[in-house]
Every structure is written in structure tokens, then in C-alpha cells.
Amino acid sequence: MTFPWLTILGLLPIAGGLALFLPVKGAGRWLGMFFALLTALLGFTVAGVYSASGAAALDVKASWITSIGTYWALGADGMGLAMVLMTVVLTPLVLLAEWKLPLEGGKWSPEAFVALVLILEGLSIFVFTANDVLLFYLFFEATLVPMYFLIVGFGGARRSYAALKFLLFSLAGGLIMLASVIGLYAVSAKSGAPSYLISDLAKLDFNNDLGRLLMIGFLIAFVIKAPMVPVHTWLPDAAEHSTPGTATMLVGILDKIGTFGMIKFCLGIFPDASRWVAPVMLVLALISILYGALGAIGSRNLMRLVAYTSVSHFGFMVLGIYAFTTQSISGTVFYMLNHGFSTAALFLVVGYLIKRSGTADIAAFGGVQKYVPVFSGVFLLAWLSALGLPGLSSFVSEFMVLAGTFAREPWYAAIAAVGVILSAVYSLRAYRAVMTGPVSDTAASEFRGRDLNLLEKAVMVPILGVLLFLGFYPQPAVKLVEPTATAAMQRLAVADPAPVVEGVK
Amino acid sequence: MNTMLMPLFTAPTIEFSALAPILIVFGAACIGVLVDAIMIGRLRGWRDEVQMGLVIGSTLGAFAYVVWNARKGVKGPLAMGSIMLDGPTYVAWGALLVFGLLAIMVFRETKVNGGVTAFASSAATVPGSAEEVEADRYRLQQTEIFPLALFSIVGMMVFASANDLLTLFVGLEVFSLPLYLMCGMARRRRLVSQEASLKYFLLGALSSAFFLFGVALVYAYAGSFKLGDIATKMASPTYGSGLLYTGLILLASGLLFKVGVVPFHNWTPDVYMGAPTPVTGFMAICTKLAAVLATLRVFYVALGAERWSWQPVFATLAVATMVLGAVAGLTQRDVKRMLAYSSIAHAGFLLTAVVGANQTDLGRTPSSVASILFYMIAYGFATIGAFALVTMVRNEAGEDNSFAAWSGLAKKSPWVAGIMTVFLLSFAGIPLTAGFIGKWTVFASAWRGGYGWLVVVAVLASLVAAYFYLRLIGVMFAGEPAAKSYVGEASGWTWVPVAIGAAATIMLGILPDAVLSMVSSLGAFLR
């Protein structure tokens, strides 16, 4: 029995979140921040254990519901660890960014916000480390509840509608997946003792029609979660009507479950069915890339704009997964990590705009940079990360995805490259419309002398720091995620095509 | 010394010890009837306490006896084979006693209601008459509701364990008649309540008649009332199967009426709405539990060999029930009525496992019977808690069940709204609540029984049903606080069942292993 690192890592923020429901007048946010930082510290300790003694040192397995073969099985591969690290780093930053918001909004208490974010963090950690299908499913669905309340409790005017739409889309995917989860049990029980362990399920033969149907059940849930066109419509609404911190948790962390699940479950349990579905997924990915980018170009609301850029970016990630090369899959996992920080930067910096001006309407801004130079620099950097400028980590991962895809599917990569151009259009357009041009009334009245304050800088510096650091020195991250890609390729039994483009190593 | 004369009558053997759980509750109910007659004058004020003492004492005592017998491993046919004591019986009895007790505790609540119970002080008086006014003025509260509920529990316990069709019918009537009465005993809106009672009675009587006719036809076919004999007879039939099929359909309509399955569901919304809310909570779970168990026993034990002919019919009914419950629930604007349609939808989910008739790995993994038992336990805790909370949202005239009154409830009472959310999430089958594990088990039983397509329909129906639960959560948390309604102060008689319900709902969602293993090992009928 190894030391249950991951169990404690997940339970710590949940316990912290529940503790905030006790009467802790005034100290709630400080207590919450304490728990978030403690979790982050523990998260890096876990990473240390991983690099020192390997993934096996983190594995936990205990029987949980014996009669249906479910285990409390946690473990982390490179991808899981990357996602966990992203989660534990982003959570305290989100708390910091929203330090004053609940007081200003006057809706629910600040303690409730902090508590829900912490509970969400704990549940996400379990989602990213579950090695048992039912356990994963359980936490996958459970994350919806705190997220729903985060939108309902602290969102904008149409929060109730947006929250319900988010929940129904997610539940639709989740319940279809439930049918597949039950089907897996039936197959597993038929073959002997039922077991939900991924390692046991991977031994079963799913190279048949049933396997394809079961895989589709999982895939639908992940496609909705990611989200991909045409089931993306919940995301712009949810992002628009929630606070920037909530949107960061939603898009930066929760949506990763979609691509994470495709690699871990669809590829891991159903390699044959995944090869079978790949052509469709590649086309869907391209549609997402282009449609998301066009949606971003057409958005009049900054929060919606950022949400659409994510739809486009998730298209790239899915393209990387189903291109089936080591380089493209590791690129995707690295992309997932970068996207978390890149989106956080966008949402939070847009949040600062909204906080000052009270609106997210692009037309209301203009010439803001005259008053707030540092702010506009940070704003620019965030958008440059979104368009994948060399020197920022998003460039590295986007390049890996495209280069990897090109090796197998040159035409798809070529079309995807159009998405890169469109990303430059929406990014620079957003910067131009907000920061440059004639000074608008809002800019003159709301931004004079209100550059980023210390608190806001404290949030943005680590996020941009990560993006810059991994942009110049991607080696540790790429090394972390590569085993996941290699393992996925082995499961798929697909060989890499002869290299045409040497990756950035 | 006359050895020629055969005894005309063999004295029946009654296993008193094994039957003690039923007898204890029955005895307490009989004493309870006398309380109103004996305790007059100065003793009148103590009636409630005595009645509650009888209820708590008898149900807990009977429960302890059930556990004791189960641990000793007493099993087999009782009372000349009219009652079967087996694993499902033990679980059903235990659950009926626990849920019965929790539901009856809410009957006793007076604080929330301004010092009186939710029941008419004198149910026999004509609504609006001088006698009613007088009874109210002098607070001449009758307490017949408690023995009525106990009699009903006795009937349900018999119904869930009956091993022959005649005992089944007796059980059916014993638990139904008190329920018809209890439905008509609301203190407020008495006419609506009496209308509900009459509807329930007329439809219930009709379904009983069908049932009895079915019993007669099956008897004609098999020449016996015993479920085991019917099963044997089907292997070597004397008559054609027309008699059997007709009888089977009539039996099913009687049983499924009590479960609330489409097309025998029409009574549910009106009766749930009109009956006093504590009574609704009682029958929502206890009636359903007993009726599902009886259905399972009849169809698995007696008609198991005819599985291929009734499975497709039940599958069709399951689809109709799930879809109608879920879709009709969408349009409701009244919490009790919504919960009524929700109970119809849940009857459909239960039926999926009945259809599956899964018996593989008996004892190790949940069979159909075991999964249904677990589902009922999970559903029961949430149901009792939810209806207890419904009694607390009020306006000046009494309970207010409209969505408008529930709007913004979270601001007035975060606890009531929060706990209601737990129950609604459990109904919707969201993980980390008991409802999810329950759904998983029944759907898994259906799939393993070869009905994978039914599971797909069921998850889609679950999605539709989830919408109306979530809408109520949205109303409570995102709506503007309603001006005219308030959350009544309740005493422990309401809060204890609510707290137990909430704790059990979460516990069974996170650590279901103990209960799931237990029902798995007890999930087989004796024949």
C-alpha cells in the first residue's frame, strides 16, 4: 500500500470548501486561500514524488463497491499530472482574481464562492486521476453541481438560463455516457468477474459493433464537454453570464475533461473503435477550428469572444488526438495545459475591463491604452498567447499539433492552418477595438488613472510567467506528457508516419 | 379409538416468532384504535403521545425482530405457505418499517401548523358544518390517523411477502382501505382532499376487482392459489393458455395500478396533490415498495416460465411510463404534482429492472430484485425527506406548493433549499447521491437481462426528468424571493425524518457497499 497522495490531494480542497460552511465570519476568503495554497504545495510535492519514484508511487487501489466491481483507484500518468498541476495552480489565482468580487456583486456571500471553487477543484483532481470508469463518471457528473451554483449564484443578468443550459447539455452527454458505462459493466461481468478498472477493461475485446456503440456513448459526452461544434452553444452563454473566475474554472479546467476523456477512455479502452471514428472526428475538429474562429471574429461581447476562441482551440486539440501521431497527441496534451493558462489570462484580463467599465460590449471601448499602459500590455500579451505567437508556450503546442497532423493528414493540417490565420484576426481585432483608436466615453470616464493594481498584477504575473517560461523552455512539459502519447499510440497499434518535419525538442 | 374418521380440519400451524414483526405492528394498531375511545376527559391531551409511543415502539420492535430473524437465518414458507419469508421479504419489511416510522413522525408535527396537525380534527364531520367548527374550536383532535397508518403498514408487509394469490388480495385490501381514508383527512382544503380520497377509492376498487377476477382465472387455470403451484402447473397445463394470459393481464393491471404505471397512473397526480402532504409522503414510498415487491413475486415466482411473453409487454409499459412521467412533469407548476409525475417516471425506471429479470451471478452482483430493493431504499429516503420539506413552505392559509411560493427559497432558508436540492439531485440521479447508485443498479439489471435498448431510452427519459428537478432548484436558488410565502418553524417531528433522509441519501451515494452487498445477498425469492 503506497501513501495515498492523490486521495489527500483531492480531499484537502473539498474539506476546505466544506469547512467554509461553518461560521467563519470574515476569515472565509483567507481560510479558502490557505487551503488553495496548501493544495498547490501538495500538488507540487506529488509531482516531485512522481518524478523521483515514478507513477507507481502514486497508485492507489482499494475495493469500493465490491458487488459491482468498482474500485477507489487513483493514479496519474503524464497527462493526468499535467492537468492536476494546472488545476492546483489556477485555483488560487482564480480566488485571488475574484478576491473582491462577491462583495461587489452583492449576490451570494464571498465564502460561498470560495467554498464552491475549492470543492470544484477537489472534484476535478479526482476526475483527472480516476483509474476506474465508474469513479471517473461519478466525479465527472459531480463537478456539474458546484459549477451550476457558481454560475447561478454569482453570474450576470441571465445567469439562471445560462446555468440551466450548461447543466442540461452536460447532463445530456453524461447520461448517454451512463448507458455506455453500464454497457461496459455488462460486458465485463459476462467475461467473468465485473471490474471497472481501466486496466481490466483494456483487456476486453471491443473490436465489434457493441464496442463502437459504447465508444460513441463516451465520445458524445466528451464532444459536448470539450465543446465542439455543433454542441458548443452552451459555452458562450455560460461564459457570458458568469464571472471571469467562474469562466476560467469552466473553460480552463472543466472543459479539459473532454479531450482528457477522449485520450484516456476512448483511445485507451476502445482503440479499434477510435480508429474507426477518426475520419469523422477530424472533420468535426476542422469545423470547430474554423467555426469557433469565425464566431470569435463576429462576437460583440468580450466574454463570448474568449469562449469562441476556446471552441477553436479545442478543435486543434481534437485534431491532434485523432491525427494519431506521437507528436500530435503530445502536442494536444501540452496544448491542454497551455490553453488552461492562456484562457485564464484572457478571461481574467477581460474581467478587469468589465470591473472598471461595467460592460463586456466591445463597442463601448476604444483608446483605453492611453490611460492604462500596463493593463494594455498585459491585454496584448494575453491575446498574443491566444494567437500562438512564437516565444509563448501556445505556439509550441500548436506547432506540434499541426506538424504531427501534417505528417499523416497534410490536407487537414493545411485547412487547420487557416484557423491559425483567423486566430490572428480575432486576437488583433480585439486588441485594436479595445485598446487603440479614438478614445471612447467609457474609456475616458472609467479608465483614467486605473491601471492594474497590485492584486491584479499578482494574478497576471504568474499566469503570463508560465506561458513565457514554457514558451522558451517547453522541455519539462513535453517530457511530462510524452509518455501519455506513446502509450496511446501503442494502444492504437498505429505507427508514426516517417517524419517530415522535425518537432521542437 | 375411531381411526376411520379422518380429521375434517387440520389446525393451521402459525410460526408466531417468524411472523412477529407483522403481529407486533398489528397489535399496536389494534390498541391504537381504542385510544380515542378510552382516553377522554383529562387524558385527552395525552392521546398523541400514547399513539406516537405505540407507533415508535411497535415499528422499532418489529424492525429489531426482523433483523434478529434475518441474522438467525429463519427462512421458508409461513402460516401454511401463505407467507414466504425470504431475502426480499426481510429487506421489504425492514424498509417498510423504517420508512413507515419516518413518515408517521411527520404526521405528529404540530408546530409548523400553528399548534395543530395537518389532519382534520374530526374527519367524520361534513366540511363547513357546525360540527367541524365546534371540533376545531375545542381542539377535539381525533388520533385515528396513527392506527390507520399502522394497519396500512401491516397490509403492506403482508402484500410484499404473500405467497398465494388470496393472501395477496387480503394484503392489498388491508393496506388500501386505510389509505383511502387517510387521503381524505386533510385539515385544510378538505373538499379537495375528500375528492382525492373518493377518486383513489373508486379507481382502487376497480383495480381490486380486476385483480380478483385475475385471481379467479389463474385459479381456474392452475387449480391453486399458491404461486409455486401455479409455476408447476405451467409446466404441464391442463387447459389452454388463453385462461392464463387473460388472468395474467388482469392480475398485472391490479398490481401495476398500485405501482402507478402507465396506463394505470391517472390517480397519482390528483391523489398526491389532494391528500395531506405527510400522507402523500407515506404512500409515495410505502405503497410503491409493497406493490413492486408483490409484482416481482407474482411474475418471477409464479409466472417466471412465461417470461418471454410478459417481458416485451412490460418493456412497452416501462417506456410509456418513463416518457409520460418525464414529459408530463415538465409542465407542472406545483411541487406536489411535480413529485407525483416524478414518481410515475421512477415507476418506469423500476420497471426496466423488472423487464430485465436478471438472475446471473445471484448473490454476488445485484440481481433484478436486489437492484429494485436498493432503488426503493434510495428513493424512499429522498421521498420522505422531500415531502416533509414540502410541508414547511407556507403562506397564511397553510401549505403553499406552487413554484411561485418556492421562488427564492434559498434566501429565506438556505437549509431547507439546500436539503431539498440534495433530494432533487438524488431523484435526478446525479452522482454522490443515493439516486445515482439506484439508477445504475436498475439500468445494469436491465442491460444484463438483454434489454440494452431500454437502458438507452431510460437515460434519455432521465434527462427529461432531470430538467424539471433542476428547474425547481433554479427556482429556489435563482428566483426572486416570493413575497407571500414563508418557511414555517418545524419541530423535531419533521426535522428528524428530513435529517435522516438527507444523511442516508448522501451516505448511500458515497458508500453504498454495505447496503448493496446486503440486498445482493438477499436478492433471491424462495419458491
User: What are the pLDDT digits (tens) for A304-341?
Assistant: 999 999 999 999 999 999 999 999 999 999 999 999 99
Q: What are phi and psi of B119, to 5 degrees?
A: -110, 150
**C-alpha radius of gyration, chain A, whole number:** 22
If one counts every other C-beta atom within 10 angstroms of the C-beta of residue A288, the result is 28
CA nearest to A320, candidates A398, A242, A240: A398
Q: Which residue of B has its CA nearest to A144?
A: B430
Query: CB distance A183–B430 less than 8 Å?
Result: no
Q: What are phi and psi of B162, to 5 degrees?
A: -60, 135
CA nearest to B103, candidates B350, B277, B345, B292: B277
Q: Note the pLDDT of residue A108.
A: 75
**Structural domains in chain B (count):** 1
Q: Could you tell me if B254 and B210 are in contact, meaning their C-beta atoms sit under 8 angstroms apart? A: yes
Tally of CA atoms within 13 A in the half-sphere of A18 that contains its CB: 7
Query: CB distance A68–B444 less than 8 Å?
Result: yes
The Cα–Cα gap between B485 and B400 comes to: 7
If one counts every other C-beta atom within 10 angstroms of the C-beta of residue B483, the result is 11
Query: CB distance B431–A66 less than 8 Å?
Result: no
Q: Note the pLDDT of residue A421.
A: 92
Residue B100 falls within a domain, yes or no?
Answer: no
Give chain A positions within 8 Å (CB) of B447. Answer: 182-183, 185-186
Q: Is the pLDDT of residue A503 over 80?
A: no
Cα dihedral value B443, B448, B449, B454, nearest 10: 40
If one counts every other C-beta atom within 10 angstroms of the C-beta of residue B73, the result is 6
Residue B403 falls within a domain, yes or no?
Answer: yes
The Cα–Cα gap between A99 and A115 comes to: 13
Query: CB distance A168–B467 less than 8 Å?
Result: yes
Q: Is the pLDDT of residue A24 over 80?
A: no
Q: Note the pLDDT of residue B3.
A: 55
> What ipTM is given for this predicted complex?
0.91
Give chain A positions within 8 Å (CB) of B432. Answer: 138, 142
Residue B245 falls within a domain, yes or no?
Answer: no
Residue B515 falls within a domain, yes or no?
Answer: yes
Give chain A positions within 8 Å (CB) of B517. Answer: 66-67
Q: What are phi and psi of B360, to 5 degrees?
A: -70, 150
Crossing angle (nearest 10°) for helices A271-298 and A410-435? 30
Lowest mean pLDDT of A87-91, A495-499, B4-8, name the range.
B4-8
Residue B48 falls within a domain, yes or no?
Answer: no
Range of the domain at B356: 305-527
Query: CB distance B470–A153 less than 8 Å?
Result: no
CA nearest to B519, candidates B380, B379, B374, B382: B374
Query: CB distance A179–B459 less than 8 Å?
Result: yes
Q: B525 versus A156: which is more confidently predicted?
A: B525
Residue B408 falls within a domain, yes or no?
Answer: yes
Query: CB distance B447–A159 less than 8 Å?
Result: no
**Any CB–CB contact under 8 A between B463 and chain A?**
yes
Q: Note the pLDDT of residue A435.
A: 87
The mean predicted confidence, pLDDT, of chain A is 88
Nearest by CB to A152, from B360, B463, B474: name it: B474
Q: Note the pLDDT of residue A361.
A: 86
Query: CB distance A149–B478 less than 8 Å?
Result: no
The dihedral region occupied by B216, where left means phi > 0, alpha psi between -120 and 50, and beta the remainder, is: alpha
Average pLDDT over residues A80-92: 93
Q: Could you tell me if A113 and A153 are in contact, meaning their C-beta atoms sit under 8 angstroms apart? A: yes
Q: What DSSP assignment string belongs to B212-262?
A: HHHHHHHHHHHS--BHHHHHHHHHS-SS-HHHHHHHHHHHHHHHHHHHT-T
**Any CB–CB contact under 8 A between B366 and chain A?**
yes
Q: Is the pLDDT of residue A157 over 90?
A: no
Query: CB distance A189–B365 less than 8 Å?
Result: yes
The Cα–Cα gap between B191 and A450 comes to: 67
Residue B247 falls within a domain, yes or no?
Answer: no
Joined together, the cell numbers standing for residue B323 give 416518457
pLDDT tens for B331-376 read 999 999 999 999 999 999 999 999 988 887 777 788 899 999 999 9
Residue B163 falls within a domain, yes or no?
Answer: no
Residue type, B441: T
Give chain B positions within 8 Å (CB) of A178. Answer: 439-440, 443, 459, 462
The three-state secondary structure class of B85 is strand
Cis-peptide, bond into residue A227, ω within 30° of zero: yes
Query: CB distance A178–B440 less than 8 Å?
Result: yes
Lowest mean pLDDT of A357-371, A471-485, B440-454, B462-476, name the range.
A357-371
Q: Note the pLDDT of residue A391.
A: 86
Q: Which residues of chain B have a pLDDT value below 50?
A: 1
The Cα–Cα gap between B424 and B420 comes to: 6
> Are β-strands B486-487 and B398-399 bridged in parallel, bridged antiparallel, or unpaired?
unpaired
Q: Could you tell me if A218 and A180 are in contact, meaning their C-beta atoms sit under 8 angstroms apart? A: yes
Closest approach of A401 to chain B, Cα-based (Å): 35
Q: Note the pLDDT of residue A107.
A: 64
**pLDDT band at residue A400 using 50, 70 and 90 as cut-offs:** very high
Q: Which residue of B has its CA nearest to A66?
A: B513
The Cα–Cα gap between A131 and A370 comes to: 52
Residue type, A53: S
The Cα–Cα gap between B220 and B223 comes to: 6
Q: Is the pLDDT of residue A443 over 80?
A: no
Q: Note the pLDDT of residue B365.
A: 81
Q: Which residue of B has its CA nearest to A68?
A: B365
**C-alpha radius of gyration, chain B, whole number:** 23
Q: How many interchain CB pairs under 8 A, A with B?
A: 98
The Cα–Cα gap between A171 and A168 comes to: 5
Joined together, the cell numbers standing for residue B181 give 381514508
CA nearest to A226, candidates A319, A315, A321, A343: A315
User: Which residues touch B116 (CB under 8 Å, ≥6 apart)?
Assistant: B110, B139, B141, B187
